[in-house]
Amino acid sequence: MSILPSPQPISDPDVALLATISAAIMTDYVNPAQDPWVGSPFAWIRTRPSRQVGAIGEQLVAGWCAAKGLDVLRTGDAKADQVINGRRMEIKFSTLWAGGDYVFQQIRNQRYDSVVLLGVSPFMASCWVVPKPVLLEVPLKPGLAYQHGGRAGRDTTWLRFPSTNPPAWLRQFGGTLAAAYQQLSAG
């Protein structure tokens, strides 16, 4: 059973011929060795507008948590994304950037207990559950930076690090989905 939609059949013989030619020349332009997302079940996310990507990340986390047996509820306000196992959670999502980094943006001081950071690579996912005070501690920890300049720009931070080498301070909060589940289920 496939989770991806079936391709639409092509009934026009000229369109079918054109599609065959397209498939034959595709390797001249798209090299799987150069595009690690080819064949990834997460590749479609990268085609969505940025305003949708965050919502997709929230749905992925909520669906995964619910499938793992954790209680998941909407918060009813805009100060956190979900209530997971009784705790208010902000969810930040990143696909792998071209340079190999995860970048979690728009981290604000709002009404949540922890931030779930879900990073998705073509065939791998990483996840951390970080208490809010850790992310907002000043001076900022390695990898964290103010996202906007100027005096007023200190209300939003982002976290950027190589996906294969998260900052040492972050490692205690997960890394794998299994480790993040342990953080989430601890209540």
Q: Around 73, how many Cα atoms within 13 Å sit in the side-chain half-sphere?
A: 9
- Is 3's pLDDT higher than 70? no
pLDDT of res. 150: 61
CA dihedral 72, 77, 78, 79 (to 10 degrees): -80
Q: How confident is the model at residue 35 (pLDDT cuts 50, 70, 90)?
A: confident
- Burial of 84 from C-beta contacts in 10 A (0-12 / 13-18 / 19+): buried
Checking 6-15 for CB contacts under 8 A at 24+ apart, the result is none
Provide the pLDDT for residue 6: 53
Q: What region, left, alpha or beta, does residue 182 occupy, with left being phi > 0 and alpha being psi -120 to 50 degrees?
A: alpha
Average pLDDT of the chain is 89
Q: At residue 153, what are phi and psi to the nearest 5 degrees?
A: -80, 10
> How much is the average pLDDT of 1-22?
71
Closest by CA position to 55, among listed 83, 88, 93: 93
105: enclosing H helix or E strand: strand 101-108
What is the per-residue pLDDT for 2? 44
pLDDT of residue 163: 96
Domains by residue range for the chain, with CATH: 10-38 (no CATH), 40-185 (3.40.1350.10)
Of 36, 62, 23, the closest CA to residue 163 belongs to 36
Confidence of residue 90 (pLDDT cuts 50, 70, 90): very high
Rounded to whole angstroms, the Cα distance separating 75 from 110 reads 13
Whether 133 has a pLDDT exceeding 80, the answer reads: yes
Does 78 or 187 have the greater pLDDT score?
78
Average pLDDT over residues 28-47: 82
Is the separation of the CB atoms in 95 and 46 below 8 Å?
yes
CA angle at 182 for the pair 178 and 187, rounded to the nearest 5°: 150
Share above pLDDT 70 across residues of the chain, in percent, rounded to a whole number? 91
Element (H, E) at 182: helix 177-185
Residue 12 confidence (pLDDT):
79
Q: What is the pLDDT of residue 56?
A: 96
Within 2-49, residue ranges assigned H as helices are 13-29
Report the pLDDT averaged over residues 151-178: 91
User: Distance between CA 16 and CA 14 in Å, rounded?
Assistant: 5
Q: What is the pLDDT of residue 32?
A: 64
